[in-house]
Structure 1
Amino acid sequence: MSSENISISPALAAGVRTSAPAKSLSFLEGVAMIVGTNIGAGVLSIAYASSKAGFLPLLFWLVLVGSLTTITMLYVAESTLRTRAHLQLSGLAKRYVGGIGAWLMFASVCVNSVGALTAYMTGSGKLLQSLFGISPAIGSLLFFVPAAGVLYLGLKAIGRGEKFISIGMVVMLTALVAATLLKDTTQMRNLLNGDWRFMVPVFNVVVFCFSAQYIVPEMARGFSDKPEQLPKAIIVGMAVTFVLLAAVPMSVIALSGLNNISDVATISWGQALGQWAFFSANIFALCAMLTSYWGLGGSFLTNIFDKFRLGNDEQPLRRFGVLLLVVVPPFALAYSGLVSFVNALYFAGVFSGVILSIMPMLILRGARKHGDQTPRWQCNWITHPLLQISIVLLYLASAVYAIASLLGYLPSGW
């Protein structure tokens, strides 16, 4: 999917309600929002989730799911470019699919966001406990304060925060991967171990790792003054995401083997490399959770404003009230004992994956019929019916597998 020659006709801007200058995103900030949202709890869990299947089945799913997710994100991008109003996914679904579609999309946003934010609360508590010896609940609370604080400040603060922390994450990850490759106990043959029969449940966790569809409409707000950069930012951001998602489990599995991976993989990774790497890996993990928390939490918040027509999302008291709805339930769920770290991601991925495999196609079809304008850039060949049917069947088959596994008819994947 080349991003070359992507341009938008001047007519696109006509009548568009542009964002205030403070909300404008740079290209790098847009890419960082994609990378930061994707690189969250998922990157920390996929090594453990693939501990039975192995690295090669994981790599297969990363390539396939990454490509399919990019396609559906570009469907959403074209739909937003055809729409003058800045609508979130549930708003786009209501306009172009109808009321049922809007509620399904909103439910998908809720389930995916609550599942993710719950996992971040759990994971951050474990990481801060391993770093400082404090209780997991106190660790989660320390993570919670800056995470929720930036969410309250809004889109521009999220974009800037994601940019700086994402750059830091790439630097830390490069150092850790290099140290792994130079470590004498690293065994690259570990990457060939595993059992392809366990590859299916890995799919659902990988789906969750590519969870940035939700922020495409939010990015469109930030790119309203330069809409031609939206598809480019999506493609570049997803390419960077793939490299990072492949590098972390590759390093962990090569270093520790499939039998020595904790559910938050950077803990065992850092311990195997030494004290400096232990701190670096876990700071990377916290940064990954923080950026993804901002991306998904911010999208969830604006979807609530959009769905219930609460008006301008910059009204301080109203924004604070909605923020509490977004951030408090995941914190409570994390310490309810009801969900584990990986299972929270797994079932969020199952539900949202099915909805997000179908809804962007329907939204794009409606936008092409009833949209406000025709952008010069369009999805073209990636809307081929055979490709769309393949996407839907793959996600539906995965959902059937997940239900069968939950009912005890199939072996656990991890």
Structure 2
Amino acid sequence: MKSKLFSAVAIYTGTVVGAGIFGIPYVIAKIGFIPGVIYLVVLGTIVTIKMLCYGEVVSRTKEFHQTTGYAEKYLGKWGKYAISFSLFFGLYGSLLAYMIGVGDFLYTILGDMLGGTPMLYSLLFFVLASLAILAGLGMIIRVEKVMFIALFIVISLFFVFGGKHIDLENLRTFDFSHAFLPYGVLFFAFTGLSAIPDMSRMLKKEKHNFKKALLIGTVTVFFIYLCFTFIIVGISGAGTSPEAVVGLVGLLGKKIVIVGSVFGVLAMATSFLTLGLAMKEIYRYDYGLDKTLGWVLTCFVPLIIFLLGLVSFIGVLGAVGSVTGGISGIMILWMYLRAKKKGDQEPAYVIKVPKPVIYILSVIFALGALYEVYYLFVT
């Protein structure tokens, strides 16, 4: 029988590598490449622990849910409502960010030839992606596998075109006055909770591969981010633009920016598809809604917000990364502790996270969320 390990890793990587990757070079350029890499390692490790804890929760539960359902099972009604707020805000915000980002990148690629506006390309993407979400997991798995391979091809081309322009002096700067800037963007960039239940379902006959798929996925994501950041910061240094790629036009010309924009479309499109499927399943499995109604609520709420123009791309990344990631992080750690005692089946794997580590991580998540709220509404 053909192993589904690669498909599971592709689902995870496609979900995680989205809009956040394009904010990473900017925030790391602000504090310096070396401290930025340390930030990547530390936050990547924290998120990996969070993902493995959630994977064990999923694996210990017979009935299929998305995150809200697991929260209700192990934390009660209050847990479901609290994490529902966090997840709905985060998922809708992410879908909105991907719509905006894909439209901008498609305009960069096609605007000179076909004309139009970023908004028009966002709407075109929305039509195609929403139909894929309606079709369900089977189609999305096929799309994810193709895009997973394409991501590596595009980032390799980026190395070929941009590598000779890297200036190592750009990688030797330090500026700790921006020490907290990367937190929200990196948190957003590493988070992909919604993929884990689908990975578990995909690997139900290969349970021994579940933990392996999570670890391979997180390591793959880390190296994609490291390579991408090395190239962008190495080329543009302190002049790195917030969206990373577009700011390279003056340094590398239009062709390299188009390559980067193709990468942007692939990364955000894969994440939009998997997150959209996860939200549709929340409505179906955790709230008992009809499949079609769940699809309408999933796709058309961010579309309406997009058409109203109420949210900015950068604002979404910061809020979703720190606030939503922090709340869901705390609750998943406590779900993990409860599932150890109340799970109703043997898990595919077991990890041992000491309670002091749970407490420390909970404090980190809480402080990060509070800082983001303070930054958004007070400063």
Sort the TM-score into its range (normalised by shorter chain): over 0.9
Indicate if the aligned counterparts of 1:187 and 1:254 stay in contact, CA closer than 8 A.
Answer: yes
Measure how far apart 1:194 and its partner are. 4.4
Q: Which amino acid aligns with 1:173?
A: I
Change (3 A) 1:374 1:197: same
Of 277, 289, 306 in structure 1, the residue corresponding to residue 268 of structure 2 is: 289
Of 87, 96, 107 in structure 2, the residue corresponding to residue 118 of structure 1 is: 96
Of 284, 298, 306 in structure 2, the residue corresponding to residue 326 of structure 1 is: 298
SS in 1 for 2:180: helix
Seq. identity, %: 27
- Structure 1 window deviating more from structure 2 (279-288 vs 214-223): it is 214-223
Of 159, 170, 195 in structure 1, the residue corresponding to residue 141 of structure 2 is: 159
Cα deviation code 1:292-332 (max 9, x no counterpart): 1112111111112222123xxxxxxx323221211222223
1:397 aligns with 2:367: yes
Q: Tell me how many residue pairs correspond in the alignment.
A: 375
- 1:142-153 equivalence runs, <5 A: 142-153=124-135
Distance in 1 separating the partners of 2:37 and 2:280:
33
1:182 aligns with 2:164: yes
TM-score, length-normalised on structure 2?
0.93
Measure how far apart 1:51 and its partner are. 4.5
* Match of residue 72 from structure 2: 94
Of 194, 198, 201 in structure 2, the residue corresponding to residue 218 of structure 1 is: 198
Measure how far apart 1:239 and its partner are. 0.4
Distance in 2 separating the partners of 1:143 and 1:96:
38
Of 227, 233, 256 in structure 2, the residue corresponding to residue 277 of structure 1 is: 256
Indicate if the aligned counterparts of 1:106 and 1:303 stay in contact, CA closer than 8 A.
Answer: no
What stretches of structure 2 of length at least 5 have no aligned partner? Answer: none
Measure how far apart 1:181 and its partner are. 2.1
* Match of residue 137 from structure 1: 119
Distance in 2 separating the partners of 1:127 and 1:170:
18
- Structure 1 window deviating more from structure 2 (203-212 vs 388-397): it is 388-397
1:406 aligns with 2:376: yes
What stretches of structure 1 of length at least 5 have no aligned partner? Answer: 1-20, 311-317, 410-414
Q: Which amino acid aligns with 2:218?
A: M
Q: Which amino acid aligns with 2:69?
A: G
* Match of residue 368 from structure 1: 340
Of 362, 386, 393 in structure 1, the residue corresponding to residue 356 of structure 2 is: 386
SS in 2 for 1:212: coil
Change (3 A) 1:338 1:280: same
Q: CA RMSD in A?
A: 2.0
Indicate if the aligned counterparts of 1:39 and 1:209 stay in contact, CA closer than 8 A.
Answer: yes
Indicate if the aligned counterparts of 1:118 and 1:330 stay in contact, CA closer than 8 A.
Answer: yes
Q: Which amino acid aligns with 2:303?
A: F
Distance in 2 separating the partners of 1:357 and 1:192:
33
SS in 2 for 1:84: coil
Of 296, 300, 307 in structure 1, the residue corresponding to residue 286 of structure 2 is: 307
1:68 aligns with 2:46: yes
Change (3 A) 1:405 1:233: same
* Match of residue 14 from structure 1: none
Indicate if the aligned counterparts of 1:207 and 1:349 stay in contact, CA closer than 8 A.
Answer: yes
Q: Which amino acid aligns with 1:139?
A: Y
SS in 1 for 2:341: helix
TM-score, length-normalised on structure 1?
0.85
Distance in 2 separating the partners of 1:71 and 1:179:
36
* Match of residue 106 from structure 1: 84
Measure how far apart 1:342 and its partner are. 1.3
- 1:52-67 equivalence runs, <5 A: 52-67=30-45
Distance in 1 separating the partners of 2:376 and 2:60:
41
SS in 2 for 1:52: helix
Measure how far apart 1:260 and its partner are. 4.2
Distance in 2 separating the partners of 1:278 and 1:52:
21
Change (3 A) 1:260 1:43: closer
* Match of residue 58 from structure 2: 80
Distance in 2 separating the partners of 1:389 and 1:44:
31
Measure how far apart 1:165 and its partner are. 0.5
Measure how far apart 1:356 and its partner are. 2.4
Indicate if the aligned counterparts of 1:201 and 1:402 stay in contact, CA closer than 8 A.
Answer: no
Structure richer in helix, relative to its length: 2
Q: Which amino acid aligns with 1:330?
A: P
- Structure 1 window deviating more from structure 2 (345-354 vs 287-296): it is 345-354
1:353 aligns with 2:325: yes
